[in-house]
Amino acid sequence: MSDFYTESPRALIATARDHASGDIFPSHQHARGQFAYAARGAISVHTPQGNWLVPPQRACWVPAGLAHGMRMHGAVTMLNVFIEPGAVVQAGLPAHCQVLGASPLLRQLLADAVKVDALYAAESRAGRLMALLLDEIAAATPLPLSAPLPRDARLARLCTELFRQPRIDGSLDAMAAQAGMSRRTFTRLFRTETGLGFAQWRQQACLLAAIARLADGQAVTRIALDLGYASPSAFTAAFRRVLGQAPSDYLV
């Protein structure tokens, strides 16, 4: 990040940038909080705490100082708002990474904010627009599009492998054995470490991978079978149950 974003006297700075499918940003961090909105395409975000997936027309909040990497799925237009720490506290934004919905008003404010002069006057229309933008970011609805990474090294290794090759099949006993634990210890520790049961976590990891692959233009049938679902209809039912839409409709 350039010194301009760190040293600017303005509380919010908005930028727009296009990225090609497959573009990768290695792990890095910002002195300001980052609100990254996918106006087009999808963005996967990874941190030491887990993975997040940002579908089109949604956003991700990344707190200042949090190491994170990003990968673009499909051609991406990313609108960023960098928010200085005082304004983060004022707005009550979270201290953890979070995928967020974007209301029609928030989307329009973002489209206007990237056109604002970087040294806008605080008492001008531009200043009021940026103040309203901060309010709308703070009011954005959290979305269940993450899979937290356990701190326990044995569970973390298992989950990292599932991030790399996500599949919905495989028995709980087999997963526990792979982690070198009894079934009872595995299930108890996994929920303690992540706040989720293993089956729910694995489903989340598979759905994040599915959304990324949908954004890359892959077919629903191929995705469903690669992820180990018994059939495309079983995959569609799981997708709809969690995200409220069929895979074919989710990115439209």
Q: What is the predicted pLDDT for the residue at 6?
A: 62
- Range list for CATH 1.10.10.60 in the chain: 146-250
Q: What is the predicted pLDDT for the residue at 3?
A: 46
Q: What is the predicted pLDDT for the residue at 251?
A: 78
Helix, strand, coil shares of the chain as percentages rounded to 5? 45, 25, 35
Q: What is the predicted pLDDT for the residue at 119?
A: 87
- Range list for CATH 2.60.120.280 in the chain: 3-138
Q: What is the predicted pLDDT for the residue at 250?
A: 85
- Provide the residue-wise pLDDT of the chain in tens; the chain has 252 residues: 444 566 678 899 999 999 999 999 999 999 999 999 999 999 999 999 999 999 999 999 999 999 999 999 999 999 999 999 999 999 999 999 999 999 999 999 999 999 998 888 888 999 999 999 999 999 999 998 999 999 999 999 999 999 999 999 989 999 999 999 999 999 999 999 999 999 999 999 999 999 999 999 999 999 999 999 999 999 999 999 988 899 988 876
How far is it, in rounded angstroms, from Cα 159 to Cα 150? 8
Task: Determine the CATH number of domain 146-250.
Answer: 1.10.10.60
pLDDT in tens, 166-181: 999 989 999 999 999 9
Q: What is the predicted pLDDT for the residue at 19?
A: 97
Asked if 208 and 51 count as a contact pair (C-beta separation under 8 A), the reply is yes
- Whole-prediction pTM value? 0.89
Residue 47: how many other CB atoms lie within 10 Å: 20
Beta strands, E only, the chain: 12-19, 24-28, 33-47, 50-54, 59-62, 68-83, 98-100, 146-148
Q: What is the predicted pLDDT for the residue at 2?
A: 45
Q: What is the predicted pLDDT for the residue at 7?
A: 66
User: Tokens 């991978």 belong to which residue?
Assistant: 209
* Domain 3-138 indexed as CATH 3.30.70.240: no
Residue 241's Cβ-count burial label (10 Å; 0-12, 13-18, 19+) is exposed
Q: Please say whether the dihedral angle defined by the alpha carbons of residues 206, 21, 218 and 54, taken in this order, is positive or negative.
A: positive
Chain centroid to CA 80: how far?
Answer: 14
